[in-house]
Structure 1
Amino acid sequence: MTMLKIRNLVSLLLAAGVLSACSLAPTYERPAAPIAGAFPAEPVPVATATGISADSGWREFFQDQRLQALIEGALANNRDLRTAALRIEEARAQYNIVAADLLPNFNAALAGSRGRTAAAVSPLGASAVTTSYQVGLNLAAFELDFFGRVRSLNEAALSQFLATEEARRSVQISLVAEVAKAYLAERAFAEQQELAQRTLNARETAYKLAQQRFEVGASSALDLRQNEVLVQTARAAFATLTRQRAQSVNALTLLVGRPLGELPPAQTLSAQNIVAELPAGLPSDLLVRRPDIRASEQRLMASNANIGAARAAFFPRISLTAGIGSASSELGDLFEAGTRTWSFVPQLALPIFDAGRNRANLSLAEVRNNLAVNDYERTIQVAFREVADALVARGAIDEQIDAQRRVLEAQADRLKLSELRYQNGVASSLDVLDAQRELFSAQQSLIQARLLRLTNAVDLYRSLGGGLSETAAR
């Protein structure tokens, strides 16, 4: 008899699960992307393009072994990435909590009670002491989800979990890009610092010669002061670059999450091979590979499911409570014949008057869904602009580097000619000093232009959703 009742109860619960398959959530449709069908064209020949995709590994893109070691350290120790990973665990636990409501929860219970009844209220006119023991299997209030309320809440929790997972991927991509940019900035400051050191040494030597010439009357005090100005200018530049380089190392240490320690030798900016070409008019649908866009869409799907839960609140809520077991006044007789007990308590709750609470909850869910749609469209627009800006800047930066290189060559020739004219008495020392100053400025500007070109490539790689994989030939 007991097994028959258990089978009947299980069959009833399975039937309830089949009947609860309907949902009142709106059919989800991905909003149309509010952007152009292709990125702006850029002056890069398609025939020479190698291409980048979201499947490109960061090792494949960043081939500097020192930079690879820094990225490895950041992925293992960065606190922001750890926080994002813990957020995933939090969202997974919340999803499991909600998902548990889809299945019935059974509890085994053992209870005992002992009490005395006063003679004044006893039907026998005498006091009595009663004892009872109960053991059984109970089904807590299990909601028969006819209108999909629990299922919609479960779908919303799942989408929130997936959104959190995509957010972690987005943090990882951003972290790889930020480590690369911080490393490149440190390398640029290092090259500029070395240049400033060489310039300072050369100008100090020139100043000593000018001082000797002044002491013997071969030059004026004006020439001496001009040389001193150049020395102090180079000294100030060296001090500034020393500070900036130290701060960039501190920023890199924060990103990596631990002291930098021993690392492979560093490469110069000109040796960094991270400038990959892309074909013009890259289709904008590649943006769906970006984790931040996928996370935004998952949040949109969650808000869509919440509408279904809010709609289901207008309909009756049916729940079941049941139990089967044994009861006896003696503990040793719990499983004897005639002690079997069972209970079956269906309950229906029909909302009649709630002062507009359910309608307000539905309006709230719909407004939040509209906000999620707007956030999804905004995320796509921002992503499109990031890629478009990086593509548009590529040609201009190449022109800037070429022009700056020509400026450097012209300034170097100018200095040579000025020194020859000064030695022959045709030009004054002011021409030489001005040529030295302009050459130093041109050298610094070329380093900055090379850094800009490399950071533009990093920005493009990040904006296309790269950086997740570690695949590359080692």
Structure 2
Amino acid sequence: MSVRSTDRDEAGMPVERDPRWWRHFGSSALDALVEQAMRDSPSIRSAESRLIEATKYLAGQQGASRYPQVDVGASAKREQLNTAAAGLPMIPNPSPFMLYNTNVSVRYDFDFFGAQRHRVEAKRYEAALRRHQADAARLTLVSNIIAAVVREGRLRDEIDVNDAVLRNRRAVGKMLRERHEIGSVAHRETIDGDSDVDRIEAERAALHAELLKIRFQLAAYAGVPSPESLPRFRLDDLQLPQDLPSTVPSGLVRQRPDILAAEARLHIAGELAGIATANLYPRIELGASIGSSPLALGQLFAGGATIWNIGAQLGAPVFRGGELRAARDAAIAAYDATFEDYRTVVLGALQSVADAMTEIDRDAIALQARRAVAQRQRTVLEMTRRQFENGSSDRLHVLRDEYAYDLARLEMIRVRAARMASTVSFFAAVGGDAYRRD
């Protein structure tokens, strides 16, 4: 398996993915569990709320840059003038009076050097970043759920085989004690048999404890306090996805949420550098206002009390002690650092895909070998049982071959679960679905 350096397939068509990639495992119970987790998981709800937050900030920034700012003001205040304080002590103080004011003001920043435009784009990429982070949260959640389901299935199958092994060892121990009583076996063999029983019982308790832990972990993923309402899984409930691609287009890997999030961060850093550069240049703003400031409320909208102004304002930095240029240089350095972070994410993604492919190949070979071993042990067991039925073998030989077969089954269960887990890791490494749509 390898990763092809292209974002299109052999026909030159863009690579597409199925967002519900977990359905490749062929379990309706798993599908229902994933849908429940997507709906109720606190981590998903948090990510979606932060996405809404970012989109609202984007909408506000777009409106602020596209349209002029219009403000309305009104005031009413009572005043008392002091003529002596004004240097006119010979004039008596007038009576207190009311002063009313209304005004409408309009301001518009022409944004000749793009500061506002860069702010809008920065908010746009912040919204994109939140969207990709939400996708990453979903991908992580689904991957964790399937991995936990695989572990649960492995544990349940191991417990079943462990129970069979425990019954086998108890039967062997009983038989050895009976033979020891008649002097046909040494006492040490009975001690070894009892030790096997104790060891297997301890392993059984550990398996049950791990299973309980996995069940509560699944409940946390699903957003429920208890696993009682969740379905129970075995390995046979899951289908191993077949015909995984032997090559992965780089365009498929590029759709990983962490890579898209790194791209969004890179764009944000570029826009911040643009803002810092625009701050070095003049700013031109057009403003106008109209209002009324009468002494009587009834004259508030009378033409004689109208006041207005209109004008343009130019502001340009002349000397800031190098602050603005330093800020621009720092923003450029931050962009360079973000670019290297992006490269790190991409390289790590390609490595994780390659590692997952290697694990799939390794586990596939191991599963085939363990299946062959289990089949041979089963053949030996069937032969021994026939010999026992014919009287050419005793019960102890049957029990020992059953034990060997059960151990082979345990190894096959573990390798089978590892093969399933490596497939989950592969789907996670490519960002979800790994199949090309025709």
Question: What's the TM-score bracket when you normalise by the shorter of the two chains?
Answer: 0.7 to 0.9
1 CA distance for matches of 2:433 and 2:137?
10
> 2:100 aligns to what?
133
Confirm whether residue 298 of structure 1 aligns to residue 254 of structure 2.
no
Residue of structure 2 aligned with 1:86, choices 42, 45, 49: 49
TM alignment of 1:160-239, pairs within 5 A: 160-239=126-205
Q: Which residue number in structure 1 is paired with residue 80 of structure 2?
A: 116
Q: How does 1:6-405 map to 2 (within 5 A)?
A: 37=5, 54-55=17-18, 57-58=20-21, 60-102=23-65, 103-121=67-85, 123=88, 125-128=91-94, 129-139=96-106, 142-258=108-224, 259-263=226-230, 266=233, 268-405=234-371
- The amino acid that maps onto 2:199 is T
Distance 1:190 1:253, change over 3 A: same
The whole-number CA distance in structure 2 between the counterparts of 1:376 and 1:157 is 19
Residues in 2 aligned to 1:53 and 1:202: alpha-carbon distance in whole angstroms: 52
**CA–CA distance in structure 1, aligned partners of residues 22 and 184 of structure 2:** 60
Contact 1:172 1:467 in 2 (8 A): no
Q: 1:227, 1:433 within 8 Å by CA — same for their partners in 2?
A: no
Q: Deviations over 1:141-198 (max 9, x none)?
A: 5432111111111111111111111110111112111101101101100100111112
1:366-390 Cα shifts (integer Å, max 9, x gaps): 1111122112222221221222222
Q: SS at the partner of 1:382?
A: helix
Alignment coverage as a number of residue pairs: 419
CA distance in structure 1 between the partners assigned to 2:25 and 2:305 by the alignment: 75
Secondary structure of 1:338 counterpart:
helix
CA spacing shift, 1:284–1:306, aligned 2, 3 Å: same
Once the two structures are TM-superposed, the CA of residue 209 in structure 1 deviates from its matched residue by 2.6
In structure 2, the CA distance between the partners of 1:274 and 1:105, relative to structure 1 (3 Å rule), is: farther
Going from structure 1 to structure 2, the CA distance change for 1:272 and 1:256 (only over 3 Å counts) comes to same
Report the alpha carbon displacement of residue 291 of structure 1 after superposing the two structures with TM. 2.1
Paired residue type of 2:68? P
**Alpha-carbon distance in 2 for matches of 1:167, 1:151:** 24
The verdict on how the C-alpha distance between 1:118 and 1:276 changes in structure 2, with shifts beyond 3 A counting, is: same
How many Å apart are 1:93 and its aligned residue? 3.4
Partner SS for 1:117: coil
1:111–1:135 CA contact under 8 A, matched in 2: yes
Cα distance, 1:392–1:319 mapped onto 2, change above 3 Å:
same
Shift, 1:211, TM fit = 1.9
Partner Cα distance (2:289, 2:358) in 1:
70
Structure 2 Cα separation of the partners of residues 463 and 254 of structure 1 = 23
Cα shift readout 1:416-451 (whole Å, capped 9, x = no counterpart): 778969x99999x7x888766644432211101111
Asked if 1 retains the 8 angstrom alpha-carbon contact of 2:4 and 2:248, the reply is: no
Please, which moves more after superposition, 447-456 or 434-443?
Answer: 434-443
Matched position secondary structure for 2:248: coil
Cα RMSD of the aligned pairs, angstroms, is: 3.0
Counterparts in 2 of 1:96 and 1:271: CA distance versus 1, 3 Å:
closer
1:226, 1:169 → 2: CA distance?
Answer: 55
8 Å Cα contact 1:53/1:464 also seen in 2: no
Q: Structure 1 regions of 5+ residues with no counterpart?
A: 1-34, 40-45, 47-51, 469-474
Match of 1:404, SS state, is helix
Conserved 8 A contact 2:109-2:284: yes
**Matched position secondary structure for 1:324:** strand
- CA gap 1:280/1:58 in 2 versus in 1, 3 angstroms: closer
- Structure 2: state its 5+ residue gaps: none
AA of the residue aligned to 1:194: D
Distance, in Å, in 2 between the alignment partners of 1:303 and 1:242 is 50
Q: Which moved more, 1:270-279 or 1:75-84?
A: 270-279
> Structure 1: which amino acid aligns with 2:155?
F
SS at match of 2:303: coil
Q: 1:56 to 1:104 in 2, by over 3 A?
A: closer
CA distance in 1, matches of 2:393, 2:167: 27
What residue number does 2:375 align with? Answer: 409
Cα distance change, pair 279–449 in 1 and its aligned pair in 2 (3 A): same
1:442 aligns with 2:405: no
| 2:425 alignment partner in structure 1 | 459
CA distance in 1, matches of 2:23, 2:349: 23
Aligned partner of residue 135 in structure 1, secondary structure: strand
What CA distance in whole angstroms lies between the structure 2 residues aligned with 1:162 and 1:174?
A: 18
Greater Cα offset, 152-161 or 222-231: 222-231
SS of residue matched to 2:116: helix
User: Structure 1 pair 77/307, CA: closer, same or farther in 2 (3 Å)?
Assistant: same
**Which residue type is aligned with residue 272 of structure 2?**
N
Question: What one-letter code is carried by the residue in structure 1 that aligns with 2:219?
Answer: T
CA contact (8 A) 1:270 1:450 kept: no
Greater displacement, 295-304 / 392-401 = 392-401
For 2:239 and 2:19, locate their aligned partners in 1 and report how far apart those are by CA, in whole Å: 15
Aligned to 1:341, the other structure's residue is in SS state strand
Q: Give the distance between the partners of 1:424 and 1:62, measured in 2 at CA.
A: 47
The CA distance in 2 between the partners of 1:66 and 1:227, in whole Å, is 41
CA–CA distance in 2 between the matches of 1:156 and 1:386? Answer: 30
Whether contact under 8 Å (1:109, 1:135) holds in the other structure is yes
Q: Distance in 1 between matches of 2:400 and 2:22?
A: 45
What's 1:43 paired with? none
d(CA) in 2 for partners of 1:86, 1:426: 70
